[in-house]
Structure 1
Amino acid sequence: MINLFQKVPSISTEELAEKLAEPITLLDVRTPDEYRDGHIAKAISYPFEKIKRYQGEKEELYIICQGGVRSKKAAKILKGKGYEVVNVRGGMNQWHGPVKGGK
């Protein structure tokens, strides 16, 4: 049973920008269309609907979405599966760095 009340650590988009200098795994849980409209270069598209099936390495994962709601839910699901997760507060709405794709 996944405990949706468990605490998940979170960072700001400014802190994420600093982390991107390191080799991190950043999962973008928005829809494929949202991802195509513009995403962070290191971000891997992994739509929220599929997150329960995620089977990546048991390394620290950073999770981002558009506004922070889906990523927080995804982070709790992944934490329940034994992953070390960090939610990106505010998501792409708060991201001011470069993006790939989009217009």
Structure 2
Amino acid sequence: MADAMFTLCGQVVNFFVQPGGTSKKTGEAFDPRDKVQILGHVPLQDGKTKLDLVTLNVEDARPFQAAQGKTIRVPVGVYAVGKTVGYFIPQGAKPQLVTSSSQ
């Protein structure tokens, strides 16, 4: 994958499978989905940072499971959800371990 404009960098703190079910809004059935939770520092306007936990859908949680507790970098796409920002990992993207010298 070409270098992405946006990347997410943080520690893999959890991964899980969201069970399949039926959407309450549309009534459509959906399949189980692998999810990963990444904890990272979000910069603030005053130069400080805050911790934020981001939960993302992933094609396959195994690469993230192998990186649990470690800092990774992964390309993300960004979209608007009302007044907030949502993120997704592009299909085929894999996490890269971050070493202290590459942060």
Q: Which has the higher contact order (CA 8 A, sep 6+)?
A: 1
Task: Determine which structure has more spread, i.e. the larger CA radius of gyration.
Answer: 2
More strand by share: 2
More helix by share: 1
Query: Structure 1 length normalisation: TM-score?
Result: 0.30
Query: Structure 2 length normalisation: TM-score?
Result: 0.30
